[in-house]
Chain A
Amino acid sequence: MSEKFTIEIITPEKSLVKTDASEVTIPSYEGEMGILKDHIPLITFLRPGIIVIMNKDKKNYYVEEGTVEFSNNNLLVLSSTAKEVLDLEKNSLNTMISEAEKKLSTSDVSDKEKYLLSYKISTLKEINR
């Protein structure tokens, strides 16, 4: 298959993954975005969600925020919160959900934060299922 490009997810602590992929879905700020080979150069940032890397098999990564750059068939994801979904444990998921819900219920959150938090909660619940 020649229809592949490279994807790299980097966190401040380490380089999380570097692999070939045939398709990647990212939770861009304004909606899900599927990226194939020869995409136009792109810069965008992320909302909480799941990055899906399609290669021979499917891999899921949870992110809360981050920056995405695509150029020269190289997809670069910079995120300080990226984690492989399989690595997330049920207990920590539950605490993360309750923390986010608590924050959402306090009055002094801006619309933008509300938007991000609601996505965070729904994504986490999705993983938790």
Chain B
Amino acid sequence: MPSLDDLKKRIKSVKSTQKITKAMKMVAAAKLRKAQENAEKGRPYSQKMQNIILNLTKSINDPLNAPKLLVGTGKDKTYLCLVLTADRGLCGGFNSNICKLAKSNFKKIISEGKELKIITVGSKGLDQIKREYGKYIIKKFSFKDKKQITFKEAEIIGKEIINLFKQNEFDKCILFFNNFKNVITQIPQAQQIIPVENNSSMDEKDTSFTYEFEPDEDEILEDLLPKNISTQIFKAFLENAASEQGSRMTAMDNATRNAGELVDKLTINYNRSRQASITKELIEIISGAESL
């Protein structure tokens, strides 16, 4: 049985932990609002961009001469996986969920006898992946010192990917990130960005007209496709940022609650043992008096 002093110390330490988690939750909540706003504002851009590309894809009449970024290299031998995670921990299952999804995909790719290349963004994902798949990692990015990730960072990564693609380093590129649904649900997602995935659920009707291109189709595609990749990466960044804060908020909320429960339990224990020692002393005094 722990002494009264020990119990006191424990209660104090749990209480200070609770203070920290509470503060972290508040900070996350404040950041979440901003991140969520950004993610929601950024959605139209990436969606419209994807739409234009899909419309373009449909109007292409000569798929053999179309840019490789759009239709792919025609092979699927080498996969490039881009895993986006946070730079900070203490956010519940956020990082592990992405890594879990990514790892199961890696396993599939390897078991099919295909080549795997990995680029990680964010230090937490790197830590989790390098244990098992360290030898496949070809590049790592971290924007730890940046306060907020802007389109420029996404462009840096986008350019890097396009360079690799031009050097025939890979055939397909898959993006892993957490899609922000609401504060408590974030869904880890895999999105193929090279070649552009054709969503067959799109309505064919309203896109049946043909576009006038100026200057011409190829030049537009050449301009648009790299931009689209950066845009999709940027979208993933925004979704990830919102998810990270949401996930941290829920995790810290739970931690605060757990700490509260622990404090209650310890306090009861503390009071009980205090009362026991008082009772014991009383009994000693009374039985001492009786024996006289």
Contacts and interface: CB of A to CB of B under 8 A. Distances in A.
Interface residues of A, number: 23
B38 to A, nearest CB: 7
A56 B55 CA distance: 33
Interface in A65-115: 67, 69, 71-72, 76, 78, 80
A69 B48 CA distance: 10
Secondary structure at the B interface, as helix, strand, loop or mixed, is: helix
Given A12-B234, A69-B52, A72-B206, A45 B211 contact: no
A11 interface: yes
Nearest to A46: B223
Interface string B190-214: 0000000000000000100111111
Interface residues of B, number: 26
Secondary structure at the A interface, as helix, strand, loop or mixed, is: strand
Contacts of B211: 41-43, 69, 71
Contact of B151 (A10, A12, A40): A12
B227 to A, nearest CB: 7
A100 to B, nearest CB: 17
B54 to A, nearest CB: 12
24 contacts: A10-B45, A12-B45, A12-B231, A13-B151, A14-B41, A14-B42, A29-B215, A30-B214, A40-B212, A41-B209, A41-B210, A43-B55, A43-B211, A43-B214, A44-B213, A44-B214, A44-B220, A67-B227, A69-B55, A69-B211, A71-B55, A71-B209, A78-B49, A80-B151
